[in-house]
């Protein structure tokens, strides 16, 4: 492990805006389920970003929407370190990060229900045969059903056409209601709020390279 990555791995355990969980067995038991101990400064709707990476998207959302709380979820501690440090330096009290596998969010959250979910530029896993690792595969949609409130909005943004088409089919097959979708987000003239107002560094790069950004808004019944 590189020296810088090791340093981040050690430091992140002490960050006040990070919950670092570890799974201990196949029954999804977690070493320390401490979600309730890390309450936000204000009790308000909580939005999750699945696979948040460095947290750019949820940090920008937190800046734009102080009336909501945001939690970024990812497995890579060194990526979370960057987002958590940025949020801490800016004094953002309505965003925090959780190091956890998406599959274990149900036991981690318990009865807590989230008001909205964003899946922003996830790995398309185009080398896998059946797409089961994609974050819009049926097994992951079942997780989202358990952790979001009934009727909550979920959003997918991607530059990958294969993931976009796969997601549309997966959503239909798994009983989701597709509220809006486009294979060219920035050609749409209607107001789409945070879907277009917030862009990560990678998204800006993709747009500059001429890649079309795809977007799906849906809910799970």
Residue 142 in marked binding region: no
Residue 22 is labelled as binding a ligand: no
Active site includes 123?
yes
Residue 123 labelled as part of a binding site: yes
Q: Is residue 57 a known part of a binding site?
A: no
Of these residues, 25, 45, 78, 123, which one is catalytic?
123
**Would the annotation count 177 as a binding residue?**
no
201 annotated to a ligand binding site: yes
- Interior CA angle at 87 toward 95 and 12, to 5°? 95
**Binding-site residues from annotation for substrate:** 159, 200-203
**Binding-site residues from annotation for S-adenosyl-L-methionine:** 49, 74, 123
**Binding-site residues from annotation:** 49, 74, 123, 159, 200-203
For the annotated catalytic residues, the residue numbers are: 123
């Amino acid at each position: 492990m590189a020296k810088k990555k090791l340093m981040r791995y050690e430091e992140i355990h002490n960050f006040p805006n990070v919950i670092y969980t570890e799974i201990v067995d196949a029954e999804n038991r977690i070493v320390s389920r401490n979600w309730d101990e890390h309450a936000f400064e204000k009790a308000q709707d909580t939005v999750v970003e699945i696979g948040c990476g460095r947290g750019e998207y949820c940090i920008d959302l937190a800046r734009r929407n102080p009336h909501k709380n945001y939690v970024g979820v990812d497995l890579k501690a060194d990526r979370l370190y960057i987002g958590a440090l940025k949020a801490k330096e800016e004094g953002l009290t309505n965003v925090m990060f959780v190091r956890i596998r998406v599959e274990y969010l149900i036991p981690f959250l318990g009865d807590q229900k989230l008001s909205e979910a964003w899946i922003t530029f996830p790995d398309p896993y185009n080398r896998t045969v059946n797409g089961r690792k994609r974050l819009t595969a049926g097994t992951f949609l079942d997780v989202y059903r358990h952790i979001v409130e009934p009727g909550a909005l979920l959003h997918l943004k991607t530059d990958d056409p294969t993931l976009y088409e796969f997601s549309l089919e997966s959503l239909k097959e798994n009983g989701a209601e597709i509220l809006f979708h486009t294979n060219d987000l920035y050609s749409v003239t209607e107001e789409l709020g945070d879907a277009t107002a917030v862009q990560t560094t990678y998204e800006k790069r993709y747009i500059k390279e001429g890649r079309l950004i795809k977007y799906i808004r849906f809910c799970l019944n």
